[in-house]
Every structure is written in structure tokens, then in C-alpha cells.
Amino acid sequence: MRPVVAGVDIGGTKTHVLLADAVAHTVTDDVILPSTDWQTRDLRRAADWLIARLRAIAGDVELVRIAVGAHGCETPAQSSLLAEALGGALGGIPVTVVNDAELLVPAAGFEHGIGVVAGTGSIAVGRHRDSGVRLSAGGWGWVLGDEGSGSALVREAARALLTHTDTGTDLAADPLTKALLGSYGAADLPELAAAMSWDGGVETWGRHTQAVFTAADEGSALARDVIAEGGNALAGLVTRLAARGARTDTVVFAGGVITGQQRLWTSVTNRLAHDLPGTAPHLLDAPPARGALNLALHGGH
């Protein structure tokens, strides 16, 4: 029986498991499954959740090392406790657990750098250049933060419309009005505000992100300003980590919003070039689970 390592990316909606031969480094299993019932409030229960899925995929192979990027492990203490629970339940094999945003840099093939997720939410994660201590910025949720994310772009677009309307500006002809009302199926701005507040709430905002980009493409200056500010905010997460001692020579971005929208990407890169010259931004073109597998294959480093 050949030894196998596992790299796991546990996201909010799906979990991606990669198994590879520990000697040849060839992938033997590539499985995506729902993250249903995943939670980190009870880390022992979380360990049992993952072990059950690994055993269902791996069968009787000999797992010799696991690396996990776990949504919801927001502190080093949480990551350490989950790693201990997993290792103890699996006979003491080495286990590395990091926040899922920390998978981006190794997934892109780099050893050091900052990973920035810009999808439904947003967060930036790096390590101190000297101590190696984990640093993060953002990720405070759709109501309080997550600047530059899909949810935040929709929130700020709606706020821009409502604020200008309060000043007496007629925005009926603005493409952003048409796009957001159409996306929500709302007849007017009061109905839009009610729908955003009560029809599913913040958890549903991200699915309307395309309306903001569509409005920008159709000439809405408001939408373009919202996108530009979102890009500036994402770059701002990186500069905050730089000020706290993180290495910024490489910054890897991932998430459905940043990878799919050139306007947002241009705003981010322009701001980084201005604020942190010498920083090299990259869009991730591999699944984050590849980062977990790379950590597993190279001893968690």
C-alpha cells in the first residue's frame, strides 16, 4: 500500500479534496462535495466531519499527511486545535490547518506572499516577514465590511442610488437603477431597499453583483465609481498588512468577483502600483485545493 497525502479546501459552500501519491506526487483522487453541516464552533465535531469524508474517498489507503484550508478557522488557535483533533483521530500523522485564504499563495506556486479572496466576501491573509505570525485584514462580514466583495459592491451600489435620490437627483435613467431594480425584480428604489433588507438579507446580496458591472458597461458613472472604490478597498487590505510587517512582493487574488471582472482587477492593480510599488499581483489560475496539496506534499511549508 503506497502512502498518500491529502490536500483539502473547505469553503463555505463546497469542499475540494485532492489525494496524491506521497512519493510520485501524482494526484490519485480529485473530489468536490458540498460543505453541508461544516462548522468550526465545535472543532472536534469539525474533525469528525472531515475524517468521515476523507475515509469515504480514500478507502484503505495509508494517509501520511494532511493539509487543510478551513473556512471558519479565523485564528491560529482555532487552526492548531483543529489540527490536533485531526491528528489525534488519525493516529498522530502530521496535520497542517490554515484559513482557506492561506491556500492561494501555495496554489499559485509561491512560498511567500499575501492571499486575497474577493468573492461573496473578502479577506486578505499573509505572514509577518520575520516572525511568520499569521496576519489578516478584512473578512468582517457583509454587514460590517468585506469591502470589494460581491456583497459589498451591491451594498455600495444601492447606497449610492439611495444617497443621490435623497439629494433630489433623478436617477431613473441611470443604468445602475435599471440593473439593480431588474436584478431584484423591484418596481422602485423603496421596494429595492425593502428587498435587500428583508428578502433573504445580506446572504443574498452577492448573487446580484453582475448588475453592478453591467451598469458600468452601459455607462453608469455611479457603478464605475463603486467598482473603483471596491478595488481601492481590496488594495487597502494589502497595504494594511504591509504596514504590519507582511511580505508584499507577491499578492495572489482569487474569488469569482475579482477573477471575472476586468474593471475591478484594473482598479486593484492600479492602486497597488501607486501605494506599494514593486508588488507583483497575480490572479490565481489553479484551484485553491492545489495549495493545500502543495502544503501536504512539502511538509506544511
Q: What is the pLDDT of residue 175?
A: 94
**Residues 100 and 131 reside in one and the same domain:** no
Q: Residue 178: which CATH number?
A: 3.30.420.40
**Residues 292 and 258 reside in one and the same domain:** no
**Residues 73 and 167 reside in one and the same domain:** no
Q: What is the pLDDT of residue 12?
A: 73
**Residues 44 and 151 reside in one and the same domain:** no
Count of all residues that appear for the chain in the document: 301
**Residues 98 and 131 reside in one and the same domain:** no
Q: What is the pLDDT of residue 14?
A: 84
Sign of torsion over alpha carbons 163, 165, 168, 169:
positive
- pTM higher than 0.75: yes
Block means of pLDDT (10 residues each) for the chain, 301 residues, are 88 87 90 86 89 87 90 84 90 90 92 89 90 87 80 92 87 89 92 85 80 95 95 96 93 89 93 93 93 87 57
Q: Cα–Cα distance between 212 and 173 in angstroms, integer?
A: 15
Phi, psi (deg, nearest 5) at residue 229: -65, -35
**Residues 130 and 37 reside in one and the same domain:** no
Paired with 128 in beta bridges are 246
Q: Are strands 3-10 and 14-21 parallel, antiparallel or unpaired?
A: antiparallel
Q: What is the pLDDT of residue 196?
A: 87
CA–centroid distance for 286 within its chain: 14
DSSP for residue 248 = -
Q: Cα–Cα distance between 262 and 277 in angstroms, integer?
A: 21
Task: Identify whether the C-beta of residue 105 lies closer than 8 Å to the C-beta of residue 124.
Answer: no
Q: Cα–Cα distance between 50 and 67 in angstroms, integer?
A: 12
**Residues 231 and 137 reside in one and the same domain:** yes
**Residues 158 and 43 reside in one and the same domain:** no
Q: Cell numbers 480514500 correspond to what residue? A: 58
**Residues 25 and 152 reside in one and the same domain:** no
Paired with 67 in beta bridges are 7, 96
Task: Identify whether the C-beta of residue 223 lies closer than 8 Å to the C-beta of residue 216.
Answer: yes
Q: How many domains does the chain have?
A: 2
**Residues 69 and 166 reside in one and the same domain:** no
Domain with 188, as residue range(s), is 110-284
Sign of torsion over alpha carbons 268, 274, 276, 277:
positive
